[in-house]
Every structure is written in C-alpha cells, then in structure tokens.
C-alpha cells in the first residue's frame, strides 16, 4: 500500500513538472528571448497554436516573451546612451546677455584732510589791541584778524610824507634852475660850464625824491603790519591771540584751516598704479554718510616702503564746509572701462572642481565658462570670461552638467532679476 502511494505521489510530481515545463519556452540556437524561442507545448502538440496551448494561454499559464526593442548586438554603454537619448530633455530657462562697457573701479581707503593749515603771524612786534575773530568762525581772504597798537608808526608815516614833500620842492627848484640856465646860455648871458653843475644838482634832487618815496612806503607798510589779515578762506582754529598780549614778529595771531576744497588722501595698490592718472573722476563716501565727487589731483612717484602702495590725493568741493578734516572715508576711482557682462548673482555656480563660473547653452548643449568677478553692484555683478553674446542659464543650472543636451526656454532679463529677488526674499 505504501509502495503504491509512493509511486502515485512520484507520478503526480512528474505530471506537475511536465505541466510546468509545458508552459515554458524552448529557445533554439541560443538566440535569446524573442528571437528563435518557441513554447514547449507547441513543440509537444506539433503546431504553433494548438488547442492545449490556446487553453493555457487563455488561462494565463503560458509564458509570454516580448521581442527586444533594441539591437541585441549593442553593448551595455550603447544601450544606456540610446535609452538616455530617448528620454525627454531637461528644461532650463535662459537669458541672452551681451557684453557691454564695464566700468573698472578701484576702491581706496583713507581720510579727509584740509588742503592747507595757514598760521596768520605778526610781521612786526607790538601789543594786541583788538582780536576780531573767535575760534570756529568762518573767514575769507582779506578779513581782519588782529590789530596791533600803532605806537609811533602813524607819526613815522607823517614824517615820511613831510620828507617827501620837501624833496619834491627841491626837485622842482633844481628843474627850474636847469631850465633858466639853458635860456641864459642860449642868449650868451651864462657860461657854458654852468650846465653840468646844475644837472648834477637836478640828479641829486631826483634821488632825494625817490628816497623820500621809499621811506614813505616803508612807513606805511609798517603801519599796515599792525593789521593782521587772513590770507586764505577757512575756519579759525587754535591758537588765537589774546587782546593785550605782546606779539613779536613771527608770533601767531590765529590759525586758519582751509576746507574748500578739501582733500581725500589714500593709497593706490601697485597693481593698479599703471592705470592711475590725474583728472580721473572719483566718488567719496565718508563714515558720516556723506557722498561727494572729486578728481585726482596728485599721484606720488614713490611708493610707501611698508605697503608698496602709492599715495594719491583727490580734491573735493566743500563750499559749505560740511566735510570735516580727518574723517575716515572710502573713495571709488573710475579708471576706465572694459568689455564685461552684468549678471544677476543667482546665475553664478561652481563646477565639480569648485571653480566659479556660469553655465550657458551652446548649440543645444550645456557649456561651463569660468568667470572672474570684477565688481559687485546693486544692479548685479560685473564678470569677465564669457563670450560676447552668451545664452546664460538662469534657472536649472544646478541640475545639468557640461555637455548635456537641454531644452532651453528663453526668458527676459527682467524675469531673471525678478526670480533672483524672489529667491533672496524667501531666503531672508
């Protein structure tokens, strides 16, 4: 009984295995699926679609194999490339940027400095009678600062004037004598040798007049020296003389700081000194928030030993004296222009090697261009390194690589700027 059961079980397993194999596929010639294969049940029945094969196929028990869609002779790399070619292209948004004149600006750090500090000194000794100005007062050239006691200087002027008048009378008398002598000699009433004596007397009288005039000029100049006047426009600073004090010749009456124009002093790096020249326009911003324009008026010929930079000066109009001396400031000097592209910051990216650049679309494929940032402005960044006309990827540049074929969708520069603004707002 057990033997019968064992034989029956084995026969059943054999039938199941036969049925399972019958639903499989026979491959002839080792040509692979879909090429030379045939269902085993068709081989048993002797025809392609026999009744048993049809029933198994309708029941879903017959193995189904589709013919390969690609060439079986292709390598794996060729099949992958072919599969990628059939995939839809990556969409990117692009904007065409054209090279334009890019201002080359050199930033300088420095401070403001008065154009000059002039000390009004006494040219003669004397006691200060009156001080006409005070510290911080604005004065113009020619304004009276201090008056010294005149002392005997007025009397010296009067004496010099009297001496000049006397000399002039003597000159007139000598001139009359020469003319009278000439008339007498013409009529034979005076000897001929008397003319030379009168000419000598006339020359002496003329010299006396010139000496008297010089003495009067000196006396008047000495009197004028008692009035000390400003030589430049500016503000009165220390030291200022005190009324009643004694001033010797050369002692200060007041100090005037000249603030119009005021000067910005800074240092130009040696790498840019070849581009620097007189007359260049500059914009100066002080730490107090003032912004003014000026021109380069001085460039040193010798570099500083410590910094290897060259001192420069920029004159700034300051008619209202609003810019003070010694204020820290920054100057931006425009030294010319060069071809460049003004791009939004969002288009800048890094390649696999960490190189800063911009991705563009050229002939339907992505290209990477290394760029150099020249300046950063409110309108965007000025860069060099791109072709004259570049189709820059503004959206999607991080999702593509160089050499990849993409579907470029054109956008306007305004849309790119708006997209960047939206990104910055979201980030903040």
pLDDT score, position 415? 59
Query: Per residue in 78-96, pLDDT tens?
Result: 666 665 555 688 889 999 9
* CA distance to 39, 40, 51, per residue, from 47 (Å): 10, 11, 9
Query: What's the average model confidence in pLDDT over 118-122?
Result: 91
Residue 13, Cβ density class (10 Å: 0-12 exposed, 13-18 middle, ≥19 buried): exposed
Query: Per residue in 347-402, pLDDT tens?
Result: 999 988 889 999 999 999 999 999 988 888 888 999 999 999 999 999 988 889 89
> In the beta sheet, which residues pair with residue 257?
117, 235
More confident residue, 165 or 423: 165
More confident residue, 236 or 20: 236
| Domains along the chain with CATH numbers | 1-87 (no CATH), 90-102+339-427 (2.40.420.20), 150-225 (1.10.287), 254-337 (2.40.30.170)
Name which of 288, 309, 151, 144 is nearest 227 in CA terms.
144
- The Cβ of residue 7 has, within 10 Å, a number of other Cβ atoms equal to 10
Instruction: Specify the range with the lowest mean pLDDT, choosing from 12-16, 103-107, 181-185, 352-356.
Output: 12-16
Which residues have CB under 8 Å from 367's CB, separation 6+? 359, 360, 361, 402, 403
Q: Which residue has the tokens 């084995």?
A: 10
Instruction: Specify the range with the lowest mean pLDDT, choosing from 61-65, 226-230, 265-269, 281-285.
Output: 61-65
Q: What is the chain's mean pLDDT, rounded?
A: 81
pLDDT score, position 283? 92
Q: Distance between CA atoms of 287 and 289, rounded to whole angstroms?
A: 5
Q: Is the pLDDT of residue 7 over 70?
A: no
Query: Per residue in 310-362, pLDDT tens?
Result: 999 999 999 888 999 999 999 988 877 788 999 999 999 998 888 999 999 99
More confident residue, 416 or 189: 189
pLDDT score, position 411? 80
Query: Per residue in 298-322, pLDDT tens?
Result: 999 999 888 889 999 999 999 888 9
Q: Count CA atoms within 13 Å of residue 247 on its CB side.
A: 32
Instruction: Specify the range with the lowest mean pLDDT, choosing from 65-74, 225-234, 240-249, 253-262.
Output: 65-74
What secondary structure does DSSP assign to 364-412, as a single string?
TEEEEEE-EEEEEETTEEEEESS-SEEEEEEESGGG--TT-BEEEEE--
pLDDT score, position 104? 80
Which residues have CB under 8 Å from 62's CB, separation 6+? 23, 39, 41, 53, 56
Regarding beta strands 100-121 and 328-343, do their DSSP bridges make them parallel or antiparallel, or are they unpaired? antiparallel
Q: What six digits make up the tokens of 384?
A: 């060099």
User: Model-level pTM greater than 0.85?
Assistant: no
pLDDT band at 8 (very low <50, low <70, confident <90, very high): low
- Report the share of the chain in percent with pLDDT over 70: 76
> In the beta sheet, which residues pair with residue 390?
97
Q: How many residues does the chain have?
A: 428
Q: Is the pLDDT of residue 226 over 70?
A: yes
Q: For helices 153-187 and 194-224, what crossing angle results, to 10°? A: 160
pLDDT band at 428 (very low <50, low <70, confident <90, very high): very low
Helix (H) or strand (E) holding 109: strand 100-121
């Amino acid at each position: 009984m057990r033997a019968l059961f064992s034989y029956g079980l084995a026969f059943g397993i054999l039938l199941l295995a036969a049925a399972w194999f019958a639903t499989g596929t026979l491959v002839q010639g080792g040509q692979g699926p879909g090429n030379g294969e045939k269902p085993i049940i068709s081989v048993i029945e002797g025809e392609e679609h026999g009744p048993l094969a049809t029933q198994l196929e309708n029941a879903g028990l017959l193995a189904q194999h589709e013919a390969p869609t690609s060439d079986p002779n292709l390598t794996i790399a060729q099949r992958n490339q072919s599969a990628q070619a059939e995939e839809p292209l990556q969409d990117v948004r692009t904007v065409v940027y054209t090279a334009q004149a890019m201002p080359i600006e050199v930033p300088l750090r420095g401070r403001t400095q008065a154009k000059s500090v002039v000390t009004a000194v006494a040219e003669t000794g004397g006691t200060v009678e009156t001080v006409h100005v005070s510290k911080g007062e604005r004065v113009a050239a020619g304004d009276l600062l201090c008056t010294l006691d005149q002392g005997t200087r007025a009397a010296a002027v009067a004496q010099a004037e009297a001496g000049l008048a006397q000399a002039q009378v003597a000159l007139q008398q000598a001139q009359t004598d020469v003319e009278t002598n000439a008339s007498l000699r013409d009529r034979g009433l005076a000897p001929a040798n008397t003319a030379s004596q009168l000419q000598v007397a006339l020359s002496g009288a003329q010299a006396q007049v010139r000496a008297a005039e010089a003495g009067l000029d000196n006396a008047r100049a000495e009197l004028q020296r008692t009035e000390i006047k400003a030589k430049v426009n500016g503000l009165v600073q220390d030291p200022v003389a005190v009324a009643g004090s004694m001033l010797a010749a050369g002692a200060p009456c007041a100090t005037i700081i000249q603030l119009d124009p005021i000067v910005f002093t800074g240092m130009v790096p040696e790498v840019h000194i070849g581009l620097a020249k007189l007359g260049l326009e500059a914009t100066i911003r002080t730490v107090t928030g003032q912004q003014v324009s000026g021109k380069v008026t001085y460039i040193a010929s010798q570099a500083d030993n410590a910094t290897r930079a060259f001192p420069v000066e920029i004159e700034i109009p300051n008619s209202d004296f609003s810019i003070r001396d010694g204020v820290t400031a920054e100057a931006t000097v425009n030294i010319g222009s060069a071809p460049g592209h003004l791009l939004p910051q969002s288009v800048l990216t890094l390649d696999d090697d960490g190189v800063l650049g911009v991705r563009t679309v050229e002939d339907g494929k992505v290209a990477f261009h290394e760029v150099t940032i020249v300046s950063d402005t409110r309108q965007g960044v000025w860069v060099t390194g791109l072709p004259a006309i570049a189709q820059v990827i503004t959206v999607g540049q991080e999702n593509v690589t160089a050499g990849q074929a993409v579907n470029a969708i054109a956008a306007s520069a305004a849309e790119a700027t708006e997209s960047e603004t939206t990104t910055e707002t979201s980030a903040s």
